[in-house]
């Protein structure tokens, strides 16, 4: 009996060691952004019931990493990982239900999964649940609860929490209006790479709301926002460089920022590009395309940094 028991224990230990190794190779390929390899490794792991493999497989289907985007498949794997307690999967499952991606839109179900993740200590989920309370989605509207959750999220270092708490102080909803505190929080979120906060900070500096008017700082934050994927900032810079408004007139940069916003799907940016292009020489178009590549590379680098 002793020998049999020892053998079974040893075999189980060996199985656990092998699973840990497979999990490590899946995670390693994923972190190296070798998604073709990661897809194969993580899928094998997920099919064996491993929650880490299930979550990463959900991510790859959701973000189209190494495979075609498939929200239903992402929902399937996120759910399996969430049921096993993977907090990030609970967050993402909440997002899918909130947006109706791969599942029937259901705000109450989204709030349920956000709550699960909040109980596990997720600062991202605190922000998302706060949004549900602020808008009354799947929960009774409660501005005080929204502010408390935004504050908890911000204190946990979440840039979206900083931004949304800044909005509340800016508007005086759920909390006493405090422009100085709003600017402080916008700045933290902007420095953390959040495009929406970078845009808001740019507007504040351009208009002198809560800060001394400063066109240099405004331009800096508009550029940062555009290069973090904020379409409105890209269009704004396109027009301003074209007209010489706030910045020296520069048709090459105008072309580049219109081009970036157009690549992100903006019809208004495409219209601006169509108006600008006939006024440029072939040489200027060539320079504009070259500068567009530089701006696009910055956007891609910022996108990767924000997703890490």
Domain regions of the chain by residue span: 22-117, 223-308
* For residues 1-24, average pLDDT: 56
Tokens of 251: 């048709």
pLDDT above 90: residue 242: yes
* pTM (predicted TM-score): 0.87
Round the average pLDDT of the chain to a whole number and report it.
92
Q: What pLDDT score was predicted for residue 20?
A: 67
Binned at pLDDT 50, 70 and 90, residue 15 comes out as low
Per-residue confidence (pLDDT) for residue 17, from 0 to 100: 57
User: Beta strands of 39-192 (E only): which ranges?
Assistant: none
The pLDDT of residue 8 is 60
Instruction: Give the per-residue pLDDT at 268.
Output: 96
- The reported pLDDT for the residue numbered 92 is 96
pLDDT at 135 over 60: yes
Q: Which pLDDT value is given to residue 2?
A: 39
Q: What is the pLDDT of residue 305?
A: 73
Find all residues with CB under 8 Å of 168, minimum gap 6, and list them: 143, 146, 147, 150, 174, 175
Superfamily of domain 22-117: Tetratricopeptide repeat domain (1.25.40.10)
pLDDT of residue 25: 85
When pLDDT is cut at 50, 70 and 90, the band that residue 4 belongs to is very low
Burial letters 220-234, b for 16+ CB under 10 A, else e: bbbbbbbbbbbbbbb
Residue 63 has pLDDT above 60, yes or no: yes
pLDDT at site 164? 98
**Lowest mean pLDDT across 24-28, 48-52, 222-226:** 24-28
pLDDT one-digit tens code per residue, 70-125: 999 999 999 999 999 999 999 999 999 999 999 999 999 999 999 999 999 999 99
In the chain, the percentage of residues whose pLDDT exceeds 70 is 93
Angle in degrees, 0-180, between the axes of helices 107-119 and 123-135, rounded to the nearest 10: 140
pLDDT at residue 12 above 80?
Answer: no
Q: Is the pLDDT of residue 16 over 80?
A: no
- Helix (H), strand (E) counts: the chain: 16, 0
Enter the tokens of residue 97.
């239900």
According to the model, what pLDDT value does residue 31 have?
87
């Amino acid at each position: 009996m002793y020998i049999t028991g020892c053998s079974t224990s040893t075999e189980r230990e060996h199985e656990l060691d092998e699973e840990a190794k497979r999990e490590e190779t899946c995670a390693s390929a994923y972190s190296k952004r070798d998604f073709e390899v990661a897809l194969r490794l993580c899928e094998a792991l997920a099919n064996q019931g491993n929650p880490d493999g299930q979550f990463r497989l959900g991510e790859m289907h959701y973000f189209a990493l190494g495979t075609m985007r498939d929200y239903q498949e992402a929902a399937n794997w996120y759910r399996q990982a969430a049921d096993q307690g993977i907090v990030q999967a609970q967050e993402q499952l909440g997002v899918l239900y909130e947006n109706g991606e791969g599942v029937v839109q259901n705000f109450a179900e989204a709030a349920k999964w956000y709550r699960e993740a909040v109980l596990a200590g997720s600062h991202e989920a605190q922000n998302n649940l706060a949004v549900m309370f602020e808008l009354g989605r799947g929960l009774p509207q409660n501005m005080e609860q929204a502010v408390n959750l935004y504050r908890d999220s911000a204190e946990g270092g979440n840039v979206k929490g900083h931004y949304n708490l800044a909005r509340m102080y800016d508007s005086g909803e759920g909390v006493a209006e405090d422009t100085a505190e709003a600017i402080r929080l916008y700045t933290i979120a902007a420095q953390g790479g959040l495009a929406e906060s970078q845009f808001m900070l740019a507007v504040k500096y351009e208009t002198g709301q809560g800060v001394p008017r400063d066109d240099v700082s405004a331009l800096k934050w508009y550029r940062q926002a555009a290069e973090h994927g904020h379409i409105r900032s890209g269009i704004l810079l396109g027009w301003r460089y074209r007209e010489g408004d706030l910045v020296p007139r520069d048709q090459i940069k105008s072309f580049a920022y219109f081009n970036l916003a157009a690549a992100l799907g903006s019809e208004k940016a495409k219209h601006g590009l169509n108006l600008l292009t006939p006024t440029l020489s072939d040489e200027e178009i060539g320079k504009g395309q070259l500068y567009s590549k530089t701006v696009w590379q910055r956007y891609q680098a910022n996108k990767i940094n924000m997703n890490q």
